[in-house]
Structure 1
Amino acid sequence: MGVLLAAIVPGFSSVLEHPGDMKMQRMTLALTLPKVGKQAKSTDDQWQSVTLKPGQTLSGVFEELGIPYDQLARVMQHPKIKPTLRKLRPGTELSFNLPADGSVRAMRLEAGPGIGDTPIELEFSGDTLRERAVPVEITTRTVVLTGEVGKSLFASARKLGLGSAQLNQLTDEMFKYDIDFDSDLSEDDRFSVVVDQTWKNGQLANTGPVLAATFTVDGKLKSAFRYMRDGKPEYFTPDGRSLRRPFIRMPIPYARLSSGFGGRKHPVLGRFRLHKGVDYAAGTGTPIQAAGDARVEFMGRKGGYGNTVILNHGGGKTTLYGHMSRFAKLRPGQRVAQGTVIGYVGSTGLATGPHLHYEFRVNGVHMNPLKMTLPPPTPLSGTALVAFKSETHRALEKIREVEDVVFQLDDGSRVASAAAKPAPARKKG
């Protein structure tokens, strides 16, 4: 569907990180403003704005607005502005303070292509032309973005302004174990995301990490929330269970398993021997991630393993990564977090082609990393759980309000409803 609706949620992110009072304010809709066409549009009583189009010149803009040529000449010859004017590109916004007589009082080069992040303003005062940097107004808004999956979750999320970082958080951190993104989703399934947006002078400059998200899949609600525990952000289920697993099963996301754990005929040596890990085929240079939080125990050349990294995760657990083409900028003894890039796929040592050889050991004993059963992280409890549930309830209520507006929902299909409404026949996306 690609509908963009932003509901302002004051203090939401800070509340999740530092529990406290939060007042719910009215919902506001974020509407896309029409682009300025050939005729300049009035932005208030005196300011008019024009966005440069391909092939359009500054003199053409002045002529279009009826600004006297002598004022154009003064601008073109101003020593501090002249170099900037040479860098103007299509998409640059120019604003003019024009009184009724047509003589320009001020001209502003808005932040954009060729200008940089800080707008520049020229003020005409008699024969004097003064320039000044316009202070950048920075605001942060916590908003709810909602839409339907449509034919592609990726495309729909992009239309809402979400980038690769937020998409990875949704698919790899928040709903990886609850939703099969290849087969579970249908075109009419809904999703909503709460994020912080940073705006500079009225323009969206940055979108932060996902603070909360819901998917309504086949009428069933799935939700996850970001919460600070021990100074580190984690994602949790509504009842306070961490969605973070202690180990990543695949240190290379989306790689192909080329050889499993157990006995096999060695591809180089040609004789039967125990394969003490698993192999993932990937192109040379593909990043390899740390399977879990750890300390770098070894980094260097190690016989048939070639370039190798060994990580110590504590509790007798270690992981080994072999055949790397090169290492990341690490050193023995350094602490690394789960997901940190530690090296890159290669074919060093005894290898017939580029791949990662990955081993998991417990007290020195090789284990099959694909079948390891590890205890889940400790869930939230006590006052932390009470605060978490209070604020996540408010987040769900805000998401419900937004979805009610966008999708014209009745009580039976709201996101906060415990009972799912029977779903009609659906189209798979």
Structure 2
Amino acid sequence: MTDSNHDAVLQGNLERARVNADRRPDPAAPHPFKGRWSRRQWAHASVLTTIGVLLAAIVPGFSSVLDTHNGPQLQKMTLQLTLPKLSRRASKATDDHWQTVTLKPGQTLSGVFEELGIPYDQLARVMQHPKIKPTLRRLRPGTELSFNLPADGSVRAMRLEPGPGIGELPIELEFDGDALRERAVPVEITTRTVVLTGEVGKSLFASARKLGLGSAQINQLTDEMFKYDIDFDSDLSENDRFSVVVDQTWKNGVLVNTGPVLAATFTVDGKVKSAFRFMRDGKPEYFTPDGRSLKRPFIRMPIPYARLTSGFGGRNHPILGAFRMHKGVDYAAATGTPIQAAGDARVAFVGQQGGYGNVVILDHGGGKTTLYGHMSRFAKIHVGQRIAQGTVIGYVGSTGLATGPHLHYEFRVNGVHMNPLKMTLPPPAPLSGADLVAFKSETHRALEKIHEVEDVVFQLDDGSRVASTAPAAKATAKTTGKSAGKRSRG
């Protein structure tokens, strides 16, 4: 190759190298986008986006300024407003701290103050307060005292909770500097109609008490409502059920009173027996769902749950040994068991009569009289006094010719002795007219309450149904042994 050709080739190579150098990217310049981002680019984008969102949320009007940079500029002004101060009572409520102490045997009020670290001068003021001073003498173990002790170590208020010696309402004292003021405690009183229901179990009395019924309500069930239809000593089994409708009074969420039984049902052997309370002529009576009185002119057993030991008719006298006519019936019971008047009556005789011992004779009118013998003592009754059915007239004993404590009970019509267990006398007149309408209206509420709890059928004496078309309550298998009724109270 000639020199001239060699120089031409070299010059061309140098020119091409210069052009390629102009096209090569600067190492310090960022790399151009190649169709996808690296992880570092994604991280940077996320950080920038987050910062932008936070600025838009925190700075008022930031986002709108970005969108309206070409629009009119708005003038903004910031004002400092003074907030009203909280009232003293409102600020106190924020740090109230109540602590309740129950007095123990031998514990005194001064001991409680010392235990809580309350200054003695506060105790002295409480001891001299005219409302508290007489109450302090009646404090007893179990009394509850509540103190408002805020976090600053002071005592703000003291409250004596309701209870024996205090009353039904709390007493609250408020400490304010050197002053001690009595403060009215708001009382919320509510009355609720409730249904208490359960199984008889081993003892009707125990089961009823567990449901919240007291002695008064249990006595209404056994001695007033169902005493003619249910023998509580032998008719009930453990699986039999009962439902009771009562009104309960609550004060500040605490049950303070349970009223009389408004309605009740017993399911015995799968059959429902029901009773409803209604005021007739100013006196409470119990009726069937169709308004017929459950009261009978005479009580079959003047002693509830006693045991019949000798019936009416001829027998060998247990003491005399001779065959004699037994002109009444005998019920064995413990000495001192109360004896009730079999019906409304006038007291005709109170005293002693030979083999009868201590005797009471009652005149029920229409030639009907009853005799109660062998009493240990008499109740506070006197000849000529008018008494109601169920009134206690005396107590079981063994005076006169008796082998043990029992009641000898006789029933006479125009002087002729009759078997008390077979006497059938017409019941009181049923409700009618306005009384029946009012009764139906009142019992409807009780029926609805019972049906809310148990699906039972209320049957009239003629077999028809009332207030429900549900199937009859299932008869549960009888368990071995009968409920002891009131005998299980002990």
Query: What TM-score results when the alignment is normalised by the length of structure 1?
Result: 0.75
2:211 aligned with 1:141? no
What residue number does 1:245 align with? Answer: 296
SS class of match (2:261)? strand
Superposition deviation, residue 135 in structure 1: 7.6
Note if contact 1:328-1:341 (Cα within 8 Å) is conserved in structure 2.
Answer: yes
Deviations along 1:185-226, whole A, 9 cap, x unmatched?
554x65332223344565333322101123456765442210
Among candidates 280, 283, 291, match of residue 229 of structure 1: 280
SS class of match (2:429)? coil
What residue number does 2:246 align with? Answer: 195
The residue type equivalent to 1:50 in the other structure is T
Among candidates 372, 397, 403, match of residue 346 of structure 1: 397
In 2, the alpha carbon distance for the partners of 1:194 and 1:122 equals 40
Specify every segment of 5 or more residues in structure 1 that has no aligned partner in the other structure, as ranges. Answer: 1-42, 405-414
In 1, the alpha carbon distance for the partners of 2:94 and 2:425 equals 62
Specify every segment of 5 or more residues in structure 2 that has no aligned partner in the other structure, as ranges. Answer: 1-92, 456-465, 484-490
Superposition deviation, residue 83 in structure 1: 7.0
Between Structure 1 and Structure 2, the one with more strand by share is: 1
* Cα RMSD after superposing both structures: 3.4
What residue number does 2:201 align with? Answer: 151
In 2, the alpha carbon distance for the partners of 1:86 and 1:334 equals 44
Percent of aligned pairs with the same amino acid: 76
Superposition deviation, residue 395 in structure 1: 2.0
In 1, the alpha carbon distance for the partners of 2:236 and 2:309 equals 26
Please give the residue correspondences for 1:32-181 in structure 2 after superposition, counting only pairs within 5 Å: 46=96, 48-52=98-102, 54=104, 68-70=118-120, 73-74=123-124, 78=128, 81=132, 84-85=135-136, 88-99=139-150, 101-117=152-168, 119-130=170-181, 139=189, 141-149=191-199, 151-152=201-202, 153-179=204-230, 181=232
In 2, the alpha carbon distance for the partners of 1:173 and 1:44 equals 55
2:419 aligned with 1:368? yes
Among candidates 364, 369, 380, match of residue 329 of structure 1: 380
The structure number with the bigger radius of gyration is 2
Deviations along 1:125-172, whole A, 9 cap, x unmatched?
22233557x689584624213232163443332122101221222233
In 1, the alpha carbon distance for the partners of 2:308 and 2:475 equals 38
Among candidates 260, 270, 287, match of residue 338 of structure 2: 287
The residue type equivalent to 1:297 in the other structure is A
Superposition deviation, residue 103 in structure 1: 1.9
SS class of match (2:421)? coil
What residue number does 1:412 align with? Answer: none
Between Structure 1 and Structure 2, the one with more helix by share is: 2
2:318 aligned with 1:267? yes
Among candidates 359, 367, 371, match of residue 308 of structure 1: 359
Change in 2 beyond 3 A, CA 1:371/1:162: same
Deviations along 1:28-87, whole A, 9 cap, x unmatched?
xxxxxxxxxxxxxxx99736251416477757765776x543465435754764675575
Change in 2 beyond 3 A, CA 1:151/1:200: same
The residue type equivalent to 1:330 in the other structure is I
In 1, the alpha carbon distance for the partners of 2:221 and 2:313 equals 34
Note if contact 1:142-1:194 (Cα within 8 Å) is conserved in structure 2.
Answer: no
What residue number does 1:205 align with? Answer: 256
Change in 2 beyond 3 A, CA 1:64/1:417: farther
In 2, the alpha carbon distance for the partners of 1:114 and 1:375 equals 51
In 2, the alpha carbon distance for the partners of 1:210 and 1:95 equals 36
What residue number does 2:20 align with? Answer: none
In 2, the alpha carbon distance for the partners of 1:190 and 1:272 equals 46
In 1, the alpha carbon distance for the partners of 2:249 and 2:121 equals 36
Change in 2 beyond 3 A, CA 1:238/1:145: same
Change in 2 beyond 3 A, CA 1:395/1:289: same
Note if contact 1:225-1:238 (Cα within 8 Å) is conserved in structure 2.
Answer: yes
Query: What TM-score results when the alignment is normalised by the length of structure 2?
Result: 0.67
Deviations along 1:95-151, whole A, 9 cap, x unmatched?
23445534222201112245344533333222233557x689584624213232163
2:471 aligned with 1:420? yes
The residue type equivalent to 2:258 in the other structure is T
Q: Give aligned pairs, total.
A: 374
What residue number does 2:329 align with? Answer: 278
Greater CA drift, 308-317 or 275-284? 275-284
SS class of match (2:434)? helix
